[in-house]
């Protein structure tokens, strides 16, 4: 063993930082501030000193501790846990001892309630893995640590690690969905499959907005009905799940909305078969509109579509660029006051919005079917293209 050093005196200019091993007994530091200062540092635990740093203003004095330099038992022992707490799922954690009046020969002995999984019963640190708790009460696991300097031992200290019951934990719900059948719904309504993804939940309940209908079965996955819509406006529904552990530990989450469209208006006499635009930017149909029989482009917007702006764009095949009348509606060939948009233009580009609509454009909702109707006439009803090629291409732009 190297010579046992209890103090070190050295001249120093500038600042001095002292980094020592855990100091159990009082160390003495004296510092005289002058142009040429002397610092004396004494610590009975230090067996060696070293000085790091080669220039002012900072030096670091390091103390190396060794055995046999303390008397009596360790003092003021505590145990800390990392992480500080566990969930009802249990898990792995570590325990670390901290005591005063120790040196490199201090011995730590652990008593673990689950000795088959405790990683070590000796050393300043140990760790363990506890199982999940699926009972109605928390489970306590007590660990005991004894620190000794030779035959002088501190009183044992304990640390209780708790694995709480799921009923003591507020549930978390990461998702809640509503899936209609058929998808999209018609004005006749249909069934809606509801599903919630929650953790630590013992009971579930569902409410529908707007309210009405029969009680919804209290399960994480269940079904409800979206009733028939006999009105002239679309009706949207959403559902909220409440997941609980006991009366006070609850959380809620709301599903996406589901729309039941308004009842379809009677078909317009002589209305042509709609041309379907697929829900993809650049999708295009071609037709020749008349004054009484329009070209009708049909789109069905997917459920859960992202909020954004889309458009219908008309490309004329006639060099004279005649004026056209257009409407956007929920029924083909609609020129009534119920249309979502109406206008007259050459080469019209007509914007619409999905979900969020800050610009006043017609709102076309996910799950709905809509029609872009284009006539060959002006505001007075007169034919605007009477010779040559009067055909058009209608293109869809999606958000």
Q: What stretches in the chain show pLDDT beneath 50?
A: 1-7, 9, 12-28, 30, 32, 34, 44
Question: Would you state the structure tokens that stand for residue 287, as one six-digit string?
Answer: 């037709």
Rounded to 5°, angle at Cα 129 from 128 and 130: 120
CA separation for the pair 157, 51 (Å, rounded): 37
CA distance to 292, 299, 376, per residue, from 288 (Å): 12, 19, 8
Q: What is the pLDDT of residue 15?
A: 44
**Burial group, residue 257, by CB count within 10 angstroms (0-12, 13-18, 19+):** middle
Q: What is the pLDDT of residue 40?
A: 64
All residues at 6 or more sequence positions from 212 whose CB lies less than 8 Å from its CB, including other chains: 227
CA separation for the pair 149, 146 (Å, rounded): 10
Strand partners of residue 240: 207, 254
CA separation for the pair 232, 212 (Å, rounded): 20
Per-residue model confidence as pLDDT tens digits over 268-287:
778 998 999 998 777 899 99
Q: What is the pLDDT of residue 374?
A: 96
CB atoms within 10 A of CB 78: 12
CA separation for the pair 327, 332 (Å, rounded): 10
Q: What is the pLDDT of residue 24?
A: 37
Q: What is the pLDDT of residue 263?
A: 73
Strand partners of residue 98: 78
CA separation for the pair 109, 145 (Å, rounded): 6
Q: What is the pLDDT of residue 283?
A: 87
Whole-prediction pTM value? 0.39
């Amino acid at each position: 063993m190297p010579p046992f050093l209890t103090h070190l005196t050295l001249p120093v200019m500038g600042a001095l930082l002292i980094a020592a091993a855990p100091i159990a007994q009082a160390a003495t530091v004296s510092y005289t501030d002058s142009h040429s200062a002397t610092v004396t540092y004494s610590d009975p635990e230090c067996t060696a000193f070293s000085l790091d740093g080669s220039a002012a203003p900072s030096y670091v004095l390091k103390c190396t501790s060794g055995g046999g330099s303390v008397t009596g038992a360790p003092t003021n022992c505590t145990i800390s846990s990392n992480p500080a707490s566990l969930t009802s799922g249990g898990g792995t954690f570590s325990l670390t001892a901290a005591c005063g009046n120790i040196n490199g020969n201090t011995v730590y002995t652990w008593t673990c309630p689950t000795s088959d999984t405790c990683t070590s019963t000796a050393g300043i640190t140990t760790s363990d893995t506890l199982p999940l708790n699926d009972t109605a009460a928390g489970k306590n696991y007590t660990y005991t640590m004894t620190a000794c300097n030779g035959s002088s031992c501190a009183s044992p200290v304990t640390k209780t690690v708790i694995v709480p019951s799921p009923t003591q934990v507020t549930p978390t719900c990461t998702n809640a969905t509503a899936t209609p059948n058929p998808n999209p719904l018609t004005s006749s309504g249909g069934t809606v499959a509801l599903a919630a993804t929650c953790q630590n939940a013992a009971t579930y309940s569902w409410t529908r907005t707007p309210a009405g209908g029969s009680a919804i079965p209290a399960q994480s996955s269940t079904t409800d009905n979206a009733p028939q819509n006999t009105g002239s406006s679309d009706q949207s529904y959403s559902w909220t799940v409440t997941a609980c552990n006991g009366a006070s530990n609850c959380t809620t989450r709301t599903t996406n909305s589901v729309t039941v469209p308004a009842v379809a208006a009677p078909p317009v006499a002589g209305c042509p078969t709609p041309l379907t635009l697929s829900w993809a930017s650049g999708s295009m149909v071609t037709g020749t509109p008349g004054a009484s029989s329009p070209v009708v482009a049909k789109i069905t917007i997917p459920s859960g579509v992202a909020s954004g702006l889309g458009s219908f764009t008309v490309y004329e095949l006639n060099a004279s660029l005649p004026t056209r009348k257009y409407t956007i509606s929920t029924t083909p060939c609609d020129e009534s006051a119920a249309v979502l948009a109406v206008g007259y233009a050459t080469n019209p580009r007509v914007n619409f919005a999905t979900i969020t609509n800050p610009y006043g454009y017609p709102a076309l909702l996910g799950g709905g079917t809509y029609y872009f109707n284009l006539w060959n006439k002006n505001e007075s009803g007169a034919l605007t293209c009477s010779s040559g090629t009067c055909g058009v291409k209608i293109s869809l732009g999606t958000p």
